[in-house]
Structure 1
Amino acid sequence: MKRSAYVLILLLCASVLTGCAAEAASLWNDNTNWIADRRPSQVGDIVTVFVDEKTKTKDEGTTEASKTNDNNVDDGFGIFDFIRAFGFKSSSKMTGDGSTERTHSAKGQITCLVTDVLPNGNLVIEGTRDIATHEETLQLHVVGVIRPQDVDSYNKIRSDLVANAEIDIKGKGAISRLQKPGILTQILQAIF
């Protein structure tokens, strides 16, 4: 009996000692919130910006200027009697009209990183996306400030909700080169 009690105490001590050395990993994450979605809140978090921008500008201008001069000189007298009366009139008129109209639209998605957290909790985001197709490279670059509460449950935000947004779209490749005037044309346009 003593021997079995001694073995039992020894097994109990061994199980306590091995239980302290081993750690069990829980399947539960205490940082998970079942009630609220996880929104970006710190540097390094990711948010997707849905770019849907449309702009239309129209400028018109009209200029009208006119000037008239009427000058007369009377006959000379004394030593200037050789001067005969003469007069001249001049007038000029200038009218100019001009207008420009431009329409731009851009659609796409870009995933951005949070690069800074402002004191009021707003987030500074920045992202770049390069898309290469058929010898053309299109680069989309977005920088701006967002409010975490504007980010939806899918971790996306519309571009019209990005404050101080800078959305740059640049293209490089065959089509971009063809749209640019040649070097001789550029020189002549600079001179004239």
Structure 2
Amino acid sequence: MHTMRRLAGLLVLAVFALAGCQSQPKRDPAFAPVPPEVPKPAAQANGAIYQAGFEHRWFENVRARRVGDILLVTLVENTEAKHTNAGKVKKSNTSSITNPTLLGKPFSFVLPGVTGGKDADLGASLSSSSDFSGSGENTQNNQFNGSISVMVTEVLPNGYLRVRGEKRIAMTGGNEYIRVSGIVRPEDIDVDNSIASTKIADATLTYVGDGQTGMASTMGWLAKFFISAVMPF
């Protein structure tokens, strides 16, 4: 009885550990963005009435270029992927052993109860064949449209802008979150201070939800345990 209780306790601990360890997808280091080289700082002139980075010209556009500026991102993601795989393997083999001869005559013998009183020899043949065929197909189509305003969080040494933003929408069944982050090239920003999401480097686009709607479409911890690798059956 004590052993059964101990096993039940270990099972409960394993289930809770599995429920808490929901790992996020890991990025491949080979695809990590390369940071630009940091140039040497320019010599600052003493006594100037203007401060670098705070100037404002009479004739200039409204494009985001400083930390804290707002940029409009137009979501135009539309991806489609299809993968088809087919394979076929066939193999056959035949082996035979010829009955030897003894003094010019075929060798034969009689085993009572085995050959039924008939002559038997040492000749034999063996044949085998295998045939396998399989096919698989995977199709995926994703579409993500809309817009979100993000904020410049960092100006890189080469002039590129690191942006990040989140939109939160409260609904009856729960909350919806849209998150966008990445690196923007100033030349790709339109005159109306907007940029398409397809022109954002190292882009991360996330659309998640919580509340009743999110819980209804989420697998429970017990169901995750039964389909996990720790399930022995």
TM-score by length of 2: 0.58
1:103 partner letter: N
Aligned equivalent of 1:5? none
Q: Matched residue of 1:90: which SS?
A: strand
Which of 80, 83, 100 does residue 56 from structure 1 map onto? 80
Match for 2:63 among 39, 43, 51?
39
Percent same amino acid at aligned positions? 29
Q: Does 1:167 align with 2:167?
A: no
Distance of aligned partners of 1:38 and 1:184 in 2 relative to their CA distance in 1, 3 Å threshold: closer
Shift in Å, 1:76:
7.5
Structure with the largest fraction of helix: 1
Deviations 1:120-142 (A, max 9, x none): 21111111222232323332221
1:149 aligns with 2:149: no
Tell me how far apart the structure 2 counterparts of residues 102 and 126 of structure 1 sit (CA, whole Å). Answer: 27
Q: What is the deviation of 1:108?
A: 1.9
Aligned residue pairs total 162
Which residues of structure 2 form unaligned runs of 5+?
Answer: 1-54, 103-108, 112-120
Task: Compare the two structures and name the one with the higher strand fraction.
Answer: 1
**Which amino acid in structure 2 is aligned with residue 53 of structure 1?**
E
Equivalence for 2:160: 122
Please state how far the C-alpha of 1:167 moved relative to its aligned partner.
1.4
Residues 131/75 of structure 1: CA separation in 2 closer, same or farther (3 Å cut): farther
Letter in 2 for 1:66: K
Within 1, Cα distance between the matches of 2:165 and 2:126? 69
CA contact (8 A) 2:160 2:185 kept: yes
Worse-superposed segment, 85-94 or 31-40: 31-40
For 2:63, the aligned partner's letter is: R
Give, in angstroms, the shift of residue 32 of structure 1: 5.4
Unaligned stretches of 5+ in structure 1? Answer: 1-30
Aligned partner of 1:67 in structure 2 is 91
Q: Which structure has the greater CA radius of gyration?
A: 1
2:207 aligned partner, one-letter code? I
Q: CA RMSD in A?
A: 3.1
User: Which residue number in structure 2 is paired with residue 110 of structure 1?
Assistant: 148
**Does 2:223 correspond to 1:187?**
no
Write the distance in 1 (CA, Å) between the matches of 2:171 and 2:193: 28
Quick one: distance in 2 between partners of 1:44 and 1:148? 15
In the aligned structure 2, how far is the partner of 1:58 from the partner of 1:136? 33
* TM-score normalized by the length of structure 1: 0.69
Residues in 1 aligned to 2:165 and 2:62: alpha-carbon distance in whole angstroms: 20
Aligned to 1:104, what secondary structure does the other structure show?
strand
The residue type paired with residue 161 of structure 1 is K
